[in-house]
Structure 1
Amino acid sequence: MISHFLKLEWKQFYRAASFGKSIGLKILIGFFALYFVVMFLLMGIGAYFGLKEMYPTQDPFVVVNSFLLYAVIGDLIFRFLMQKLPLMNVQPLLTLNIKKSTIVHYILIKSAASFFNIMSLFFYIPFAIVLIKEGYDVEGVLGWLFFMILLIQIVNYLNFLINKNNSAFGFLLVLLIGGFLVQYYQIFNLPAYVGKWFYYIYENPIYATIAILVLMFLYRLNFKQLLGLFYLDEVVSKKVKQVNASDLSWTDKLGDVAPFIKNDLRLMWRNKRTKSSVWMLIMALLYGLIFYPNPIYADKESFFIFIGVFSTGAFLINFGQFIPAWDSGYFNMLMSQNFKYERYLKSKFTLMTISVIVLFLLGIPYVYFGWKILVVHFAAMIYNIGVNTYVLLLGGSFNRKKIDLDQKAAFNYQGTGAVQWLIGIPLMAFPMALFALINWWVSFEIATLTIAALGFIGLAFHKVFMKLITKRYIATKYKMIHAFNQNN
């Protein structure tokens, strides 16, 4: 029966109407997957020797174990945002003489072989082989590796249980950030303490079997949860949900664009695709903590602009690159209303501008790592408002792919086309290259001033740019309507 399910999914894959249209994108995603596999493989092979050089007085295996707390929690957060249960189209199967338990078992087993689980193995397996070659106890290393493989699956099934629980996501973020802060300020070395337990598995491999019991327990919980949802009336019935409307009266102060901004805010909070993007803002805001505390990047000032543009423009990039595809589900109705197109685009510009300012203000504590970082973040904020907003609005006029808002954001390439890949050049690559060149040739101050000046020039010509962009949207209006009416 399992082989039959696999044949059905393969037929569904290559017989789909979108197969030919998205084959190029699938190849591109495949290259990215191959890139990550190679990177993890190289890390697994070189981690022992790299850590031995960085920490000559410590055992590299102990160092790796001390980082596993971050790795496991980070993996769970990453899965929460990006992974979804690999469901198949079960509705036609529910009327056939196939046990529901068989379908559920297939779905859960299939999830165990997802790319999220396989990718980590390209680090752990080579690392374990290096440990054995370096003289570590073979039984201990194999027991540790066996435990890590089971832990990957535990995280996989745990993610499906907490996937819709925002409180669990918040707890994971607090644990991750809290663990880093108490270690950074030398209050308590939580990662090292947890690392001792991982090392204990190496010293006593028999205890790795405890993970089997935990895995079986989580598998059983997932099985019962999914089995309770596999009923035909659950699939075909229309669910009526009560919507809790938020108080958005504060947007009325924004003038004639307020109705559009209210619509966008409701859209972001009520739909999976946009809600996942909002949660990703937290990770983008904390992105600088990966680099700024590290002494290696202390003198690499040209890298500050990349972090500044990304952290202050995280929402701008995530939201702006899919304008107006977010509204593709009701674009026909929207375009039939009696309003000026410029109002619609102005609302997008206003929303993106507000997000950039708010993220900059939230990122002010980065001044702790140096005044230069705050200055660069300010310049990046101005650049995002005065340049990148127009770039994204102009790029949106080329969007022709519809977006299903009920799907998650991460590793979901629906709505993604060549525009989204090419637009990264003016968004990120250009300011970084320009800043690095001027910083090397002239000075840090002039480089920062140049980036900010480009943003101020963009703001000075705001009306001119908005009129040109509006004309572009009006010229392609009916092409977008026709494209959004097509099934992806």
Structure 2
Amino acid sequence: MFKRFSSLQWKSFFRSSNLGKSLGIKIVMGFFGIYMLLSLAITGGGMYFLLKKIFPDVSPMWIVSQYFIYWILIELMLRYFMQKLPVMDIKPFLTTPVKKSTIAHYILGRSAASIYNLLTLFFIVPFAIVLIFNGYPVLNVLLWIVAIIAIVLSINYVNLLINKNDKVLIAIVSLLVLGYGLDYFGVFSIKEFFAPVFHALYAYPLTILIPIALALFTYYVNYKYLRDKIYLDAKLKSKSVEANTSDLAWTKRFGEMGSFLQLDLKMIWRNKRTKSQVYISLLFVFYGLVFYTVDVYSNMMPMKAFVGIFMTGIFLSNFGQFIPAWDSSYYSMMMSQNIPMRKYLESKVILITVSVVGMFLLTIPYVYFGWDALAINFGCALYNLGVNIPVILYFGSFNKKRIELDQSPFGNMQGASATQFLVMLPVLVVPIILFSIFYYIFNLEVAVGILSVLGIIGFAMKNYLLDLITEQYKRKKYGMIAGFKEKAS
């Protein structure tokens, strides 16, 4: 039966009317997946020698055991966003003599074969091979690999249970940040606390029974849940949804733009893809730590300018590049009404402006690394406000691909076109080039001043630029309406 299910899924893919796009996307994602796996394999193979060089008096296995708790939390967080739940059209099978238990086992089996379960394996196996060649006991290392595989499968099945639960995501991120903070400031060593737990999987082979039991338990919980949900009338039952009584009345103070702003805020909060953009933007506030805490980047000011543009403009880039495709499902209806295009675009400007200002405020703690960090982030925020907002809106007039808001943003190329790649050149590359030129010719103050002045000039010319962009949207109006109606685009 498993073979039959796989055959039907294969035929469903190749007989789809959307085969061309689906196949193209899968080929691109396949190359990306192969690149990631090879990179992990190379990193895993070299990790032993890297750890030996950095920590010559400590066993590499002990170091890996110290940080494994962070690996688990990070993998849970990444899977929350990136891993798609296993999907199968089960309705045709519910009227045939196919056991529900078989369907449930097949769905869970497909999930176990996910590429995300291979990521850890491609890192751990080369690392383990190097351990064996360097005199580590073969049996201990092999059983350790089995234990790690069991932990990865446990993470996989736990993710199926908690996926799309915002409270769980907040808890995972909080634990990750709290643990790193306690370690970084020397309050309490989380890695030292968990190191003996994970090192025991190598030192005491019998302990592999614990992760294996955990993997079987999480599999059984998922199996019970799926089997109880596989009923034809489960699809017919009306869905009970708790009403959200928030009317966002405060948006009325923006006049005519208030209704558009209210529509955008509701859309962002009620849909998976837009809501994920908010969470991703907040997480990238910590992106600067990668550069400010590593000595090799300490004197690379252009990289810090890139971080400033990126952190303060992450929502601008992620959300703005798909304007007005976010409204594609009802864009034709909006354009048939007496709705001023200028007011529609101004509401987008207000939303993105608030995001840039908010992200800058969240980056103020980087002043801990020096006043230069605050100055760079401030200049970058001004540049985003005055220059990048008009640029991102202009490029939005070329968007003609529909977006389904209830789908995950990761591994999802829906709505993407060459426009999304081209817009990153003026948004990210141009300000870094400008900053670098004036930094190396003059100094940091001049470079930051140039970005700030350009941002202020753009802000002063906002009305003129918005008029030009509005005319561009009016010219492209019917092309966008036609493109948004194509659901298979």
Task: Quickly name the TM-score band, shorter chain normalised.
Answer: over 0.9
Q: Deviations over 1:60-108 (max 9, x none)?
A: 2222221211111001011112212121122222232221211111111
Residue matched to 2:358: 358
Residue matched to 1:300: 300
CA distance in 1, matches of 2:403, 2:95: 30
Residue matched to 1:124: 124
Matches within 5 A, 1:142-157: 142-157=142-157
Q: CA deviation at 1:237?
A: 4.3
Residue matched to 2:34: 34
Q: CA deviation at 1:240?
A: 4.8
Does the 8 Å contact 1:144/1:198 carry over to 2? no
Residue matched to 2:280: 280
Residue matched to 1:450: 450
CA distance in 1, matches of 2:171, 2:242: 27
Q: Deviations over 1:121-168 (max 9, x none)?
A: 111111111111111122221122111111111111111111132222
Percentage identity across aligned positions? 43
Residue matched to 2:16: 16
> Is 1:233 the equivalent of 2:233?
yes
CA distance in 2, matches of 1:92, 1:125: 41
> Is 1:78 the equivalent of 2:67?
no
Does the 8 Å contact 1:281/1:314 carry over to 2? yes
Cα 1:7/1:223, change in 2 over 3 Å: same
Superposed structure 1 runs of 4+ greater than 4 Å apart: none
Q: CA deviation at 1:58?
A: 2.6
Q: Deviations over 1:209-239 (max 9, x none)?
A: 2111111111111112122222112224443
Comparing 453-462 and 67-76, the one that deviates more:
453-462
Cα 1:249/1:317, change in 2 over 3 Å: same
CA distance in 1, matches of 2:108, 2:413: 23
CA distance in 1, matches of 2:242, 2:210: 43
CA distance in 2, matches of 1:449, 1:31: 42
Residue matched to 1:338: 338
Residue matched to 1:99: 99
CA distance in 1, matches of 2:292, 2:321: 28
CA distance in 2, matches of 1:33, 1:452: 40
Matches within 5 A, 1:463-478: 463-478=463-478
Q: Deviations over 1:365-404 (max 9, x none)?
A: 1111221111111111111111221222112111111111
Matches within 5 A, 1:168-179: 168-179=168-179
Q: CA deviation at 1:22?
A: 4.8
Residue matched to 1:163: 163
Q: Which amino acid aligns with 2:27?
A: I
Q: CA deviation at 1:360?
A: 0.8
Residue matched to 2:418: 418
CA distance in 2, matches of 1:216, 1:310: 42
Matches within 5 A, 1:133-144: 133-144=133-144
CA distance in 2, matches of 1:258, 1:173: 33
SS in 2 for 1:239: coil
Residue matched to 2:68: 68
Cα 1:124/1:325, change in 2 over 3 Å: same
Cα 1:35/1:423, change in 2 over 3 Å: farther
Does the 8 Å contact 2:151/2:212 carry over to 1? no
Q: Deviations over 1:429-473 (max 9, x none)?
A: 222233234323332222222222222222122122211211111
SS in 2 for 1:265: helix
Residue matched to 1:265: 265
Q: CA deviation at 1:23?
A: 4.1
CA distance in 1, matches of 2:465, 2:147: 58
Residue matched to 1:190: 190
Comparing 203-212 and 231-240, the one that deviates more:
231-240
Q: Scaled by the length of structure 2, what TM-score is found?
A: 0.96
CA distance in 1, matches of 2:139, 2:432: 49
Does the 8 Å contact 1:328/1:484 carry over to 2? yes
Does the 8 Å contact 2:271/2:405 carry over to 1? yes
Task: Kindly tell me the number of residue pairs found equivalent between the two proteins.
Answer: 488
Q: Which amino acid aligns with 2:147?
A: F
| Unpaired segments ≥5 residues, structure 1 | none
Residue matched to 2:205: 205
Q: Which amino acid aligns with 2:197?
A: W
CA distance in 1, matches of 2:350, 2:213: 53
Cα 1:331/1:239, change in 2 over 3 Å: same
CA distance in 2, matches of 1:425, 1:450: 18
Q: Which amino acid aligns with 1:254?
A: F
CA RMSD of aligned residues (A): 1.7
Does the 8 Å contact 1:65/1:192 carry over to 2? no
CA distance in 1, matches of 2:118, 2:343: 48
Cα 1:461/1:410, change in 2 over 3 Å: same
> Is 1:290 the equivalent of 2:311?
no
Q: Deviations over 1:292-347 (max 9, x none)?
A: 22233222222112221221112111211111111111112111111211111111
Comparing 346-355 and 296-305, the one that deviates more:
296-305
Residue matched to 1:400: 400
Q: Which amino acid aligns with 2:5?
A: F
Comparing 21-30 and 414-423, the one that deviates more:
21-30
Q: Scaled by the length of structure 1, what TM-score is found?
A: 0.96
Does the 8 Å contact 1:81/1:280 carry over to 2? no
Cα 1:213/1:188, change in 2 over 3 Å: same
Does the 8 Å contact 1:313/1:384 carry over to 2? yes
Q: CA deviation at 1:247?
A: 4.3
Does the 8 Å contact 2:309/2:380 carry over to 1? yes
Residue matched to 2:367: 367
